[in-house]
Amino acid sequence: MSFDLIIKNGTLVTASSTYRADIGIKGGKISAIAETLEGENIIDAKGKLVTPGAIDTHVHLEMPIGKYTSTDDFYTGTKAAAFGGTTTIIDFVETRENQTFVEALEMRKSLAKKRSIIDFGLHMTIMPHDIKKLDQVQAAVEAGCRSFKIYMAYGNRLNDGEILLAFEAIGEAGGLPIVHAENWDAITTLIDKNLNEGNRGPEWHTRSRPAVLEAEAVGRVIDLATYAGVPVHIFHISCPEAIERVKNARIQGHFVTAETCPQYLCLTDEVFEAEGVEGALPICSPPIRGIIDQMELWEYLSSESFHTISSDHCPFTVGEKAEGLDAFNKVPGGVPSIEMRFPAIYSRGVRDGFLTVNQWVDLCCTTPAWLFGLENKGDIQVGKDADLVVFDPEKTVVLSETSLHEEAGWTPYKNMSITGWPEVTISRGEVIVKEGKCYGEKGRGQFI
Ligand SMILES: [Zn+2]
């Protein structure tokens, strides 16, 4: 048997096992896994881990939000992702009022297709003006979009009745609802109260969005999903109170899954103490909380209460963030994490003893692929896409806006030292990043 590429001498890490083997790649697929394979084109992975390409099921690239657009486009964002070992992302589609789901999907798909260097999928956002289009949910699923984002916060939020209608339509079409859960009514009341009392600094962002109000919304949306008889995936859980609701619902037999993100696992609310705009940069929602919340989230990860770790990558420039300096609620929310996610979870999770290497791969690669139906991704098996990472477990990288490839011009993880970093990233058999250089061509990414 001949191969296009062989990865030799590496230690393979999957969600369930760790073992020494060579991988043979042909036609973009994994075509053999054996103790020894021979061929011409070889990557030597001696002393390295070989993992599935990481999957980031929650990113916002060139996303319009009010007067802003998130900083990374589908080229710069997917390039940064590839440097961090991510070979598949799932981004979002929003419809205009007079547009069908499928029309909006096709538009966003062709935009992403032009620039993306890695494979991508899209979640459909269901906004208030989409409630009258729920009979189109089935068509969206058939067009390749099977997950539907629902906001309980912001201008795009649905009320509980609308959520119920959306859940029923998604359930009938065999789709998966995913939810941004926060109690918007109570939070906006607290924001107004704090601003009126002259509390305008970034630390009041977290204080206006207390953990219990995130947990309340998580509990409520699980109840609505239970009533509608649909599974539900909860995005970006930031606190123990919220994951505890998921855990309890699962004990009762409900199909609920949960995501958390690097910003809740690597940062604490001390970030808001920095002077001037520095303190406003890390504003995102749900908010970055205290050190005790962070440590407890790691414990919940360790005991497998979470299912995915995604980035929620949604950066804005320093100038855009600075426009909200006189009031925390005017700062566009979101942080860049698309590049550091996979290695950071290895460094903070595996090296610091919270996770096994297999749990790391499961949370960042395998369960995300399974949950969103990416059948050819997320695992090292013959027949799967050859999306692979040769990962150097000893390489130390100090994060900064210069060591990372994101476009925001800043990172909330500045000076964070990470040990463990991708050396080679392979997408469908093609080396797209090797030793700090990107070889992936703009537009090579496919819609999946
Ligand atoms: Zn998001």
pLDDT tens-digit readout, 389-431 = 999 999 999 999 999 999 999 999 999 999 999 999 999 999 9
288 Cβ contact list (under 8 Å, min separation 6): 206, 238, 263, 264, 267, 268, 269, 271, 272, 282
pLDDT tens digits, one per residue of 48-61: 999 999 999 999 99
437 Cα: distance to centroid of ligand 1 (angstroms) = 28
Residue ranges of domains in the chain: 53-371
The pLDDT, as a whole number, for residue 144 is 96
The pLDDT, as a whole number, for residue 133 is 97
The pLDDT, as a whole number, for residue 113 is 98
Cβ count within 10 A of residue 302: 15
306 Cα: distance to centroid of ligand 1 (angstroms) = 17
pLDDT of residue 65 exceeding 90: no
The pLDDT, as a whole number, for residue 341 is 98
pLDDT of residue 325 exceeding 90: no
**Average pLDDT for residues 314-324, to the nearest whole number?**
93
pLDDT tens digits, one per residue of 256-275: 999 999 999 999 999 999 99
pLDDT of residue 378 exceeding 90: yes
pLDDT of residue 324 exceeding 90: no
- Name the band, by pLDDT with cuts 50, 70 and 90, for residue 99: very high
pLDDT of residue 66 exceeding 90: no
The pLDDT, as a whole number, for residue 168 is 98
Q: Are 446 and 119 in contact (CB under 8 A)?
A: yes
The pLDDT, as a whole number, for residue 1 is 81
What's the whole-number average pLDDT of the chain?
97
338 Cα: distance to centroid of ligand 1 (angstroms) = 12
* Residue (of 13, 35, 54, 33) closest to 309 by Cα position: 54
- Name the band, by pLDDT with cuts 50, 70 and 90, for residue 373: very high
The pLDDT, as a whole number, for residue 53 is 98
380 Cα: distance to centroid of ligand 1 (angstroms) = 28
135 Cα: distance to centroid of ligand 1 (angstroms) = 25
pTM of the model: 0.97
pLDDT tens digits, one per residue of 115-131: 999 999 999 999 999 99
5 Cα: distance to centroid of ligand 1 (angstroms) = 36
157 Cα: distance to centroid of ligand 1 (angstroms) = 13
147 Cα: distance to centroid of ligand 1 (angstroms) = 14
115 Cα: distance to centroid of ligand 1 (angstroms) = 21
Number of helices (H) and strands (E) in the chain: give both, helices first: 15, 21
The pLDDT, as a whole number, for residue 9 is 98
7 Cα: distance to centroid of ligand 1 (angstroms) = 35
45 Cα: distance to centroid of ligand 1 (angstroms) = 35
184 Cα: distance to centroid of ligand 1 (angstroms) = 16
The pLDDT, as a whole number, for residue 201 is 94
The pLDDT, as a whole number, for residue 67 is 87
pLDDT tens digits, one per residue of 106-115: 999 999 999 9
What is the rounded CA–CA span in Å between residue 83 and residue 418? 14
Q: Which two tokens stand for residue 428?
A: 């469908």
Beta strands in 170-276 (DSSP E): 176-180, 232-234, 256-260
What is the rounded CA–CA span in Å between residue 148 and residue 140? 10
8, β-bridge pairs: 44
**What H or E segment, with its residue span, contains residue 301?**
helix 291-302
DSSP codes of every residue in 142-168: HTT--EEEEESSSTTPPPHHHHHHHHH
The 8-class DSSP code of residue 324 comes to T
The pLDDT, as a whole number, for residue 211 is 98
pLDDT tens digits, one per residue of 170-214: 999 999 999 999 999 999 999 999 999 999 999 999 999 999 999
* Residue (of 28, 13, 79) closest to 436 by Cα position: 79
53-371 — its CATH code?
Answer: 3.20.20.140
312 Cα: distance to centroid of ligand 1 (angstroms) = 5
